[in-house]
Amino acid sequence: MLHYLQNLFQALDFQSMGDAALRVAAVFLCLTVHETCHGLAAYALGDPTAKRMHRLSLNPLRHIDWFGLVMMFAAGFGWAKPVPVDPRYFRKPKQGMALTALAGPVSNLLLALVTMLLGRLVYEYAPYTPFWDGLLSFLLLQLAPLSVGLGLFNLLPIPPLDGSKVLAMFLPDRAYVKLMRYERYGIIVLLLLSWLGLTGNLISNIIMAVYNGLFNLCF
């Protein structure tokens, strides 16, 4: 039995396991910041719903949708638990919803910027050791690009993504109601687009362009 356990231990690929753990940590952080900022924006605009439901929290377990997390790794996109928002608290409901929705993607782009600035500090001032080298790789090669990708992907004007709520601000009331009525079918549309590969290259190119722009700004 001991010999079997020793062979199993030696067969484990700890490098791959460590990379996977860091990837999950990056996903948790990006989704948590994204959803918390939705709630903070709504609260600032007068809606206490997220606060009452304890969603103004940096605890990822309050925000993670486990099926959405699996889909992020399996299909290339996923989702967290939507922060509850009651537009009746907003003086201007459509504008309030748009600003609340926009807060998520903006927070991800700001997180990417802060991550790259931290990466620059590590690059310039930290001693060259395996720990600091690993931290630099995590910041610049996992956390920052994932945060940029999550932010830009959510700006697509497809319900239920945040971009659809931003677009809705510019629509007449009748069109706005119709768009929100079909929100539940948006995930199916996104799955089809992902399966057919119709938007992959375009989105990837935009993400890379924004990532490079932020990188050049920081370095």
Residue 128 falls within a domain, yes or no? yes
Q: Catalytic pick from 27, 34, 35, 163?
A: 35
Active site annotation includes 35: yes
With b for 16 or more beta-carbon neighbours within 10 A and e for fewer, the 36-70 pattern comes to bbbbbbbbebebebbeeeebbbeebebbbbeebbe
Structural domains counted in the chain: 1
Domain that holds residue 162: 15-218
Tell me, yes or no, whether 2 lies in a domain: no
Q: Is residue 4 part of a domain?
A: no
Distance between start and end Cα atoms, the chain: 53
Q: Is the pLDDT of residue 117 over 90?
A: yes
3-state DSSP percent of the chain in helix, strand and coil, to 5: 75, 0, 25
pLDDT score for 187 = 67
Whether the CB-CB separation of 96 and 90 falls below 8 Å is answered with yes
Q: Is the pLDDT of residue 90 over 80?
A: yes
pLDDT tens profile 133-180: 999 999 999 999 999 999 998 998 888 889 988 988 888 877 777 777
